[in-house]
Amino acid sequence: MKSLPGVEDIGYPAPQIANIFEEHPVEHTQLKSVLVATSNPGKLRDLAGAARPLGIEISSIPGFSSLPLVVEDGLTFEANAIKKAEGYSRSAPGQIVLADDSGLEVDALGGAPGVHSARYAAEKPELAESNTDDAANNAKLVAQIGNIPEAQRAGRFVCVIAAARDGRTLATFRGTAEGIILTTPRGSNGFGYDPLFYFPGIAKTFAELTPEEKAKYSHRGEAFRKFLGWLSSQ
């Protein structure tokens, strides 16, 4: 994936991230709190699961619900994350603000739902102005893949986190998680498509994991660790 002009794209592999944390144990733990441009409780739980072991508190921007809405009309996860981070960071002067865009890509559906994951159940997801219900999104996905053999239901969660300050993007961080899409939900944790996303490495869906467990394997956990690795090098 190419970075947008003037934006640093961080693509550390997982082992390198681990080395960064070992080499900079003080720097990355000096950060005690991170502001996130979301009111989505599922995203906040995911990030908290990745941050809690490091003693970092995750919180939404104060008064976030009253801020003007940033419309997610980008064609890529990166474009949407950058637009949100830049827009909302202007409401927290001098502070680093994170925003993410994420979704599910199913190979048999040509990469759908993709950037329209949260609005997938809408009649025209690309035109929808608000998110549709998780249950409706899952139902539409199951209807579309129900006749596809399990071996051909490969997919991935993708998350791009953008870090911005005072309306300027500092860097972006991409995380992915590869799995198989089920037709019967499993688990009661998580949100979105988690009950249908089976992660072969642990033989569980993401909805069967605690936030801390999910952070070890998830797309959002990987992207957040890359952010911390970048931060420790600044």
Q: Which residues form the catalytic set?
A: 101
Give the C-alpha separation, 234 to 229, whole Å.
Answer: 9
Sign of the Cα pseudo-torsion (19, 23, 26, 27, in order)? negative
54 secondary structure, DSSP code: G
Q: Fill in the amino acid letter for 71.
A: V
Nearest to 134 by CA among 207, 71, 79, 84: 207
Neighbours of 142 (CB within 10 A): 15
- Whether 175 and 230 have beta carbons less than 8 Å apart is answered as no
Q: Is 29 exposed, middle or buried (0-12, 13-18, 19+ CB in 10 A)?
A: middle
Give the C-alpha separation, 117 to 123, whole Å.
Answer: 13
Beta-strand ranges (E) seen in 50-208 are 57-60, 97-106, 154-165, 168-181, 197-199, 204-205
> Which residue carries 């199951």 as its tokens?
142
138 secondary structure, DSSP code: H
> Which residue carries 């072991």 as its tokens?
53
